[in-house]
């Protein structure tokens, strides 16, 4: 099996598939009961499949919104999600109408109309307020449950952080780095905000400047003071004194915002190292 397939938590799509299947059948039975013998159960199922398919297609966008604007982190995020219901409802209603017309008219050859009037959009919007709220609650609940019961626990999470050496090796206090024009300048280590990998080079972010040094990220990590600099991602090292904010993401990762405004992913594989210097209260 391909390695990346092994890392996917298949419980998430399985749970959503089961929820959608149950919801489709329940709504189809209600649709048939409301309309009597005018539609069959199969037609009722197709009516609901079109709506649920549009919701499923928008789930990635919903997850992105909850990563970018997590509920509970800021009251303004609630406003963002409330406003998001409008495009959510418009896209779902318009897409659902096209799918139903395609199936019943183009495929089945039946007579079917779905007028996209203002009244219809308002009617669908009132339903989508409940739909969006329910989906958001499900996203938050599943994130809470799955993050606390990971399917594949990284090996680094099962190991305790390495104990610091009794006698710390000498650490460089200054680096000679190359500027874009080709000249080399000396910078103090304490002025570095964060470091990112770039092929055979490492890019030092210093007060808004990008300075290159020919070194691997692992080599730099071994040379820097572990009490001041910490690896937070396979491609990033941060100066712990420059961290301004840490906020949760989906799938166990966190997001770091630095004092210069840069945002960096805190991978769950490196979270123990980060919390050894700056404990995060979640």
CATH code for position 173: 2.40.50.1020
Flag whether 93 is in a domain: yes
The helix (H) or strand (E) run that includes residue 245 is strand 243-248
Same domain for 23 and 105, yes or no, is yes
pLDDT of residue 238: 93
Which H or E run contains 89?
Answer: helix 75-101
Mean pLDDT (whole number) for 110-126 = 87
For residue 82, pLDDT beyond 50: yes
Is residue 97 within 8 Å of 116, Cβ to Cβ?
A: yes
> Structurally, how many domains does the chain consist of?
2
Task: Mark whether 76 and 178 lie in a shared domain.
Answer: no
**Among the three residues 148, 174, 198, which one is the final residue of a domain in this structure?**
148
Do 123 and 186 reside in the same domain of the chain?
no
Q: Considering 119, 148, 177, which residue would you say is the last residue of a domain?
A: 148
Instruction: Examine the domain organization and report whether 266 and 166 are in the same domain.
Output: yes
Where is pLDDT greater, at 139 or 180? 139
Residue 48 resides in a domain: yes
Residue 6 structure tokens: 């092994």
Give the distance, in angstroms, between the CA of residue 170 and the centroid of all CA atoms in the same chain: 40
Residues 14, 1, 253, CA angle at the centre, nearest 5°?
Answer: 55
Share of the chain above pLDDT 90, in %: 11
Q: How many CB atoms lie within 10 A of CB 134?
A: 12
pLDDT in tens, 183-196: 778 888 888 899 99
Q: Are residues 224 and 260 in the same domain?
A: yes
Residues 19 and 131 in one domain: yes
Looking at the fold, whether 181 and 141 belong to one and the same domain comes out as: no
Q: How far apart are CA 194 and CA 210, in angstroms?
A: 10
For residues 162 and 138, membership in a common domain is answered with: no
Residue 282 lies in a domain: no
Residue 45 and residue 165 share a domain:
no
Q: Are residues 49 and 101 in the same domain?
A: yes
pTM: 0.49
Q: Are residues 127 and 231 in the same domain?
A: no
**255: in domain:** yes
Residues spanned by the domain of 7:
3-148
Burial class (CB in 10 A: 0-12, 13-18, 19+), 212: middle
Does residue 80 have a pLDDT over 50?
Answer: yes
Asked if 39 and 61 sit in the same domain, the reply is yes
Last residue of a domain, one of 125, 148, 171: 148
């Amino acid at each position: 099996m391909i390695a990346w397939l092994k890392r996917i938590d298949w419980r998430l799509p399985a749970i959503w598939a089961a929820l959608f299947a149950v919801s489709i059948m329940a709504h189809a039975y209600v649709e048939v009961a409301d309309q009597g013998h005018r539609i069959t159960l199969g037609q009722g199922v197709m009516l609901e499949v079109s709506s649920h398919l549009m919701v499923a297609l928008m789930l990635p966008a919903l997850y992105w919104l909850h990563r970018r604007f997590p509920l509970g982190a800021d009251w303004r995020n609630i406003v963002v999600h409330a406003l998001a219901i409008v495009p959510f409802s418009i896209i779902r209603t318009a897409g659902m109408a096209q799918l139903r017309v395609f199936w019943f008219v183009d495929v089945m050859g039946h007579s079917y109309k779905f007028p996209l009037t203002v009244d219809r959009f308002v009617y669908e919007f009132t339903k989508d307020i409940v739909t969006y709220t329910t989906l958001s609650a499900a996203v938050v609940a599943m994130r809470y449950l799955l993050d606390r019961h990971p399917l594949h626990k990284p090996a680094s999470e099962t190991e305790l952080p390495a104990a610091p050496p009794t006698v710390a090796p000498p650490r460089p206090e200054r680096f000679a780095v190359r500027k874009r024009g080709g000249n080399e300048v000396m910078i103090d280590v304490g002025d570095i905000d964060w470091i990112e990998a770039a092929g055979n080079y490492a890019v030092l972010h210093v007060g808004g400047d990008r300075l290159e040094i020919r070194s691997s990220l692992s080599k730099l990590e071994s040379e820097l003071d572990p009490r001041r600099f910490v690896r937070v991602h396979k491609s990033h090292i941060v100066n712990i004194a420059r961290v301004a904010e840490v906020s949760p993401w989906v799938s166990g990762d966190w997001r770091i915002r630095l004092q210069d405004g840069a945002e960096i992913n805190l991978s769950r594989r490196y979270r123990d190292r980060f919390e050894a210097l700056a404990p995060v209260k979640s």
